[in-house]
Amino acid sequence: MYPVRHKFVAVFLIVPCACTFASLVRGDDARVTPLVKAVRSCMESVVNIHTEKAAPADKESRFFTQKPRRVTGMGTGIVVDERGYIVTNYHVIHDVDQITVTLQNGETLAGRKISFDRKHDMAIIHIDPTKPLTVMPLGTSSDVMLAEQVFAVGNAFGYEHTVTSGIVSAIGRDVEVDETQSYENLIQTDASINPGNSGGPLLNVNGQVIGINVAIRAGAQRIGFALPIDEARRTIARLLSTERLSGVSHGVFTTDVKTPTEQKLVIDDVMAGSAAAICGLKNGDVLTEVRGIRIRDTADWERGLLDIPVGTVVDVSILRKGVETTLPFTVGIGKSVPNAVAAPATPATPATPVKTVASVNKAKAASSPSEIRNRVASMLGLRLASLHTQDRKIIGRKYKGGMRVTAADSGGLAARHGIRRGDILLGLDGYETLDDRNLQFILLESRIKNLKSLSFQIFRQHHGALVGSIELPSTRQ
Which pLDDT value is given to residue 348? 32
* 19, pLDDT greater than 80: no
Average pLDDT over residues 118-130: 94
- The domain locations on the chain are 25-56+68-239, 247-330, 369-475
Lowest mean pLDDT among 14-23, 247-256, 331-340: 14-23
Average pLDDT over residues 30-41: 92
* 4, pLDDT greater than 70: no
pLDDT tens track for 141-178: 999 999 999 999 999 999 999 999 999 999 999 998 77
Architecture of the CATH domain 25-56+68-239: Beta Barrel (2.40)
Which pLDDT value is given to residue 1? 43
Average pLDDT over residues 124-136: 97
- Report the predicted TM-score, pTM, of the whole model to 2 decimal places: 0.68
* Residue 137 CB-half CA count within 13 A: 15
Question: Which sequence positions are flagged as catalytic?
Answer: 91, 121, 198
Q: Which CATH class is domain 369-475?
A: mainly beta
Local confidence band at 354 (pLDDT 50, 70, 90 cut-offs) = very low
* 467, pLDDT greater than 90: no
Through-space distance between the first and last CA atoms of the chain, rounded to whole angstroms:
80
* 378, pLDDT greater than 60: yes
pLDDT tens track for 204-243: 999 999 999 999 988 888 999 999 999 999 999 999 999 8
Lowest mean pLDDT among 194-208, 275-289, 461-475: 461-475
Task: Write out the chain in H/E/C secondary structure.
Answer: CHHHHHHHHHHHHHHHHHHHHHHHHHCCCCCCCHHHHHHHHHHHHEEEEEEEEECCCCCCCCCCCCCCCEEEEEEEEEEEECCCEEEECHHHHCCCCEEEEECCCCCEEEEEEEEEECCCCEEEEECCCCCCCCCCCECCCCCCCCCCEEEEEEEECCEEEEEEEEEEEEEEEEEECCCCCEEEEEEEECCCCCCCCCCCEEEECCCCEEEEEEEECCCCCCCEEEEEHHHHHHHHHHHCCHHHHHCCCCCEEEEEEECCCCEEEEEEEECCCCHHHHHCCCCCCEEEEECCEECCCHHHHHHHHCCCCCCCEEEEEEEECCEEEEEEEECCCCCCCCCCCCCCCCCCCCCCCCECCCCCCCCCCCCCHHHHHHHHHHHHCEEEEECCHHHHHHHHHHCCCCEEEEEECCCCHHHHCCCCCCCEEEEECCEECCCHHHHHHHCCHHHHCCCCEEEEEEEECCCEEEEEEEECHHHCC
Which pLDDT value is given to residue 365? 42
pLDDT tens track for 186-208: 999 999 999 999 999 999 999 99
**415 neighbors 383 (Cβ within 8 angstroms):** no
* 366, pLDDT greater than 60: no
CATH superfamily of 247-330: PDZ domain (2.30.42.10)
Local confidence band at 12 (pLDDT 50, 70, 90 cut-offs) = very low
450-465 exposure pattern, b = at least 16 Cβ within 10 A, e = fewer: eebbbbbbbbbeeeeb
Give the integer Cα–Cα distance in Å for 125 and 77. 9
Average pLDDT over residues 303-318: 95
Higher pLDDT, 76 or 351: 76
Local confidence band at 353 (pLDDT 50, 70, 90 cut-offs) = very low
Greatest mean pLDDT range, 19-33, 203-217, 248-262, 325-339: 203-217
Average pLDDT over residues 416-439: 86
Dihedrals phi, psi of 48, to nearest 5 degrees? -100, 135
* 260, pLDDT greater than 70: yes
Which pLDDT value is given to residue 442? 84
Higher pLDDT, 353 or 462: 462
Which pLDDT value is given to residue 248? 87
**440 neighbors 366 (Cβ within 8 angstroms):** yes
* 398, pLDDT greater than 60: yes
Q: Do domains 25-56+68-239 and 247-330 have the same CATH topology?
A: no
Average pLDDT over residues 365-394: 81
Q: Which residues sit opposite 86 in a β-bridge?
A: 79, 125
Local confidence band at 294 (pLDDT 50, 70, 90 cut-offs) = very high
Which pLDDT value is given to residue 64? 52
